[in-house]
């Protein structure tokens, strides 16, 4: 499977994001977790790849089955909502 440069950039971006699971990358680009790891190894500098692997390894948010929330985006209970460029009071 040959990927365009913009697709590779997007996969790398998604792989670095803490809350984007590997399942989302699989759904969008048809790449399994091991294929993403291989792509990251090939495209990143060795030091960057090691940092990424240390960050991702064991991170529950990168695996849908290990997540503590089912759907939607995670939102902290103390996070304020923004309405019309003004922060709402609690």
* Per-domain boundaries in the chain: 5-68
What does the pLDDT look like over 17-71, one tens digit per residue? 888 888 899 999 999 999 999 999 999 999 999 999 998 887 776 765 655 555 5
CB within 8 A of 38, min separation 6: which ones? Answer: none
State the Cα–Cα distance between residues 70 and 51, nearest whole angstrom: 28
pLDDT attached to residue 59? 74
12 neighbors 5 (Cβ within 8 angstroms): no
pLDDT band at 87 (very low <50, low <70, confident <90, very high): low
pTM over cut 0.95: no
Q: How does strand 86-87 pair with strand 82-83?
A: antiparallel
């Amino acid at each position: 499977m040959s990927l365009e440069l913009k697709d590779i950039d997007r996969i790398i971006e998604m792989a670095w994001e803490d809350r984007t699971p590997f399942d989302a990358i699989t759904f969008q680009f048809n790449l399994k977790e091991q294929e993403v790891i291989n792509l990251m190894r090939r495209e990143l500098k060795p030091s960057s790849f090691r940092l990424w692997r240390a960050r991702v390894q064991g991170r529950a948010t990168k695996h849908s089955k290990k997540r503590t929330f089912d759907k939607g985006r995670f939102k902290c209970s103390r996070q304020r909502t923004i309405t019309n460029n003004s922060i709402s009071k609690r």
